[in-house]
Structure 1
């Protein structure tokens, strides 16, 4: 399987990605606070992968997947993100005829680049005005009280806004973003003890417990080369 990722310069879009496989297969998807819109060229299926709270094993048949990944807190799908949490939903079920029309237009694209450009043009990102601030704070602290005080919000209001924008409450959002920070550091070749310190864990055992809880795997297993997401 060949997985390729192309960072996007557009605000709100984390990347465009694709995966080619002659035989299909399963992939481990771990929480990243992101929403993906994914098209499978061979079957024509167009679906949304919501933010996960734990590991998800996906199985996709052979062919080409084309995906667009929103930054955490960004979506253009017209529903609160918590309605997509831990879910895989056909876009037509959310958008009706608009989703079916987009799938038909994708089926008529002749190249991967054309399919990616169509997804970009059809899926403008939107950001809850408070989401950027919530996300920035959640990268630094898991204290709901501190986040609420810094944003001038009550804790319940903060929780409602975080859940609608990210699919998670602020404490879970912090855990997921910290986990992703640890993965990025480990993939850069940094040792696990230093990863724990730099990513904000209490110590290396704390890092190991959190990685296992969120992914079902050890950090070492996760940083081995993989084929990329199948969603």
Structure 2
């Protein structure tokens, strides 16, 4: 069972999940990084460029905080591209004694998700306005050229900034955010063709190709999963 709610950390989402038997739905790329607690362990999920299929036993419990695109690197202290398509233990990034004490405190808390959120809130850096603006414009369907011009950056500068902040270049980020826009509409029951056009795809066939390339599944399969009570809209819950 998956649940999520808005976080007190700006732009973030707090989520929990208990793995059910036979629940192996993929986690889809969303441009985000997550801080995870899993049965006493603290992990970091880097930004994905493809669907990730978790391997967790039924009954495994997770709590996580999914940061807004571009917000994770300042918290974790590493460029996003260094964690792309990976899951790592938090003590590989932060001091081991600090991570062990934090993991123990969260595990002993009545609600690990709330304790995890409090820990993230205490360390959350001030959002970078330029990074946030780039993500917002690409998410709204702006072209990479227009986004770079509005930000006052050259193409190479924007590419470097995107690698550090999001884990991949602006074209890949734009594709992922466009797919997420379309899937948000699909979850609301919008017909596939309408969702494709509204999100910025050329047509339904274009969206279907992007779905297969980035998510590894069909729109029909996604819509069916999204209507089940254990589906995961987005995010990066996982084992390391």
TM norm structure 1: 0.90
In the alignment, which residue of structure 2 is the partner of 1:46?
Answer: 42
In the alignment, which residue of structure 2 is the partner of 1:26?
Answer: 24
Name which of 60, 63, 68 aligns with 2:65: 68
- 1:122-143 deviation digits (Å, cap 9, x = unpaired): 4414433311111122124463
The answer as to 2:2 corresponding to 1:3 is yes
Closer/same/farther in 2, CA of residues 67 and 22 from structure 1, 3 Å limit: same
Closer/same/farther in 2, CA of residues 151 and 22 from structure 1, 3 Å limit: closer
- 1:160-200 deviation digits (Å, cap 9, x = unpaired): 11111111211111000000000000000000111111000
In the alignment, which residue of structure 2 is the partner of 1:138?
Answer: 138
In the alignment, which residue of structure 1 is the partner of 2:214?
Answer: 214
Give the whole-Å Cα distance in 1 for the aligned partners of 2:80 and 2:126. 12
Shift of 1:220: 1.6
In the alignment, which residue of structure 2 is the partner of 1:128?
Answer: 128
In the TM superposition, 1:158-173 aligns within 5 A as 158-173=158-173
Give the whole-Å Cα distance in 2 for the aligned partners of 1:162 and 1:66. 27
Closer/same/farther in 2, CA of residues 122 and 93 from structure 1, 3 Å limit: farther
Report the count of equivalent residues.
Answer: 227
Closer/same/farther in 2, CA of residues 45 and 209 from structure 1, 3 Å limit: same
Shift of 1:157: 0.5
Which runs of 5 or more structure 2 residues have no equivalent in the other structure?
none
Contact 1:128 1:165 in 2 (8 A): no
Which structure has the highest strand share of the two? 1
Which runs of 5 or more structure 1 residues have no equivalent in the other structure?
none
Give the whole-Å Cα distance in 2 for the aligned partners of 1:111 and 1:218. 36
In the alignment, which residue of structure 1 is the partner of 2:54?
Answer: 58
